[in-house]
Structure 1
Amino acid sequence: MLWLLLTSCVAHAAQPLLANKRVLWLGDSITQAGDYVTFVEYFLERLYPADRFDVISIGLASETASCLSEKTHPFPRPCVQERLQRALALVKPQIVVACYGMNDGIYHPQSAERMHAFEQGIEKLTSAVHAAGAEMILLTPPPFDALQVKAKVVPQSAPDFGFMAPYAGYDDVLADYARWEMQLPKSEATVIDLHTPMDAYLAEQRKMEPDFSFAKKDGIHPDAAGHLLMAQIVLRGLGIPAATGDLQAELKIVEADPLYLLIKEQREARSDGWLKYVGYTRGKTVKADSVTEVEERNAALQAKIDALRKQTSSKGLLDASCYPTLSLRDRMGHPGSC
């Protein structure tokens, strides 16, 4: 079977959308943690060694697109609109990726007012990106896992809600956001649905393991395996084959790869530096004067990354287009190329 695949596969994967372009990645604390962004960069660097990837990821904890904030939050939630124009002017992206929603409903039941605030926030974000001459990619929010915080969630009849006392059915609010985003015309944005396939994966796993969760601590933030699944879904949404198999096994392979460790170091340093350079207000105002040192370090790390990519390419990592059903681990395990 492998021989048939080798002999019949003649076309290489088309150049991925994020290749050879400046990419700005926005979002809340899940994006600030950024493991899924690191995984996306890693797979792209691994699978397309002839292309360049230039991603500046500046997710900000607590941030919304809706500009809403619950009464019980310790400070007014930051809103992406406050820093968006600075980010666009300083980063000068050709593509903007944004993942919002988790905080936008402020952990309340759905209402027409809050739904409108989210819609308006995403529309303003998209309009600003287009005005800057960039393409827009929207990611729907990952799920809220009420099972993991069942002692904290409150019913719809509760007097108030917030991230410390979230509405028990808050995942339904996120599903509303996802459905609305998925209906946006392609002329406005490329939309990749994280919410639906992640919810489906959770449901399938719980048939075998009733307590299975990606967000065991707070119902909000995915663990490393959850971030890996997010990355695989994003890659598929970009037209790049990425199989979802044994996430834990795949995670071990990826995290042991020296290339991954370099990309993780690079992504984290660059994210932190550019987040401060663009500036934000989150309880207090933070602003750095320069990213010169950050970019010098970035260039040094990229040289190391490129050297490892050339090594991999010479060893013949299988092209993603040849084996769309194989995991990265499987492709790395076969000699030759298509």
Structure 2
Amino acid sequence: MTYLNDAARRGFLKTAAVLGGTAALGVPPLAAGADELPPSDIAVTTVKDTPSNSGAKLTVERRGPIVLFGLNRPDVQNRVDPDTFKELAEAYYNYDHDPSLRAAVLFGHGDNFSRGIDIDGFRSLGGKPPISEATAINPLATTPGPRLTKPLVVAVHGDTWNMGHELLLVADIRVASADTRFAQDENTHGRFPGGGSTVRFVREAGWGNAMRYILTGDHWSAEEAHRMGEVQIVAADAKAALETAIQLANKIANCAPLGIKTTLASAHLAIDPAEQEALFKLTAQYRELFQTHDFLEGRRAEIEGRRPVYEGK
């Protein structure tokens, strides 16, 4: 773990171009000689020149008072494995505890934001989040413990499925590229949406809209997501989506930070009490489903490329 100085950031942007990340999306670096904030409490993962060997599943880049988090497993469509989940949880915690940072942006490197959970990686954990609450914030906010008290903006593009969609739903402001393909299709694979969409998707889109997609497994477009109210802005492409998210984060960062935190805390009082009981039960429900015949059948069918045969047991 190192802190991004000028040279490190230039290396990050060079590598990001290879990955299809921030540089490839056309997001400019800070001007030469621009002031850097001191590293404070937040550490970042330095992306190496050879992405496949870097081991950096999450990139972190400070830009003055904002920070960019990039899901960085483009070779597997940014599926979130336990290591990535843990790194993101720790990055959220560090961001929340760094007084020099005022807003954050989450995005995905490569062609997709995220196709969701790395199911084999999480299966070995029995569905339990692989984090320590003492130094982490659950990115899905589905367990008791600390949560983000600062703003999070998410920019999505390409495939944004399942856990990828649920990471979006946790955000305070959501931007989607016009090419985004959303899905919450766990039920077609013998699973269920265990990362919060059964609560947050219903809240954002309404019961009928959410059930229309959760129960059938059908995918939907950025335009449909905007119609349902779960994304606030549809941008022309991935480049524009990320640029828009960064612009929004910078606007937030220009506001009084205590006012922003108080605004979020007040707004959460309106929704948290009604939601937390349902959210906090998800881990146990997911763990129980992992043991069923239909879950195993769904996984076997995916691997074998055939239609699953479910028996309700």
Q: Same fold (TM over 0.5)?
A: no
Higher RCO (C-alpha 8 Å, min separation 6): 1
Give the TM-score normalised by structure 2: 0.30
Give the TM-score normalised by structure 1: 0.28
Whose Rg is larger?
1
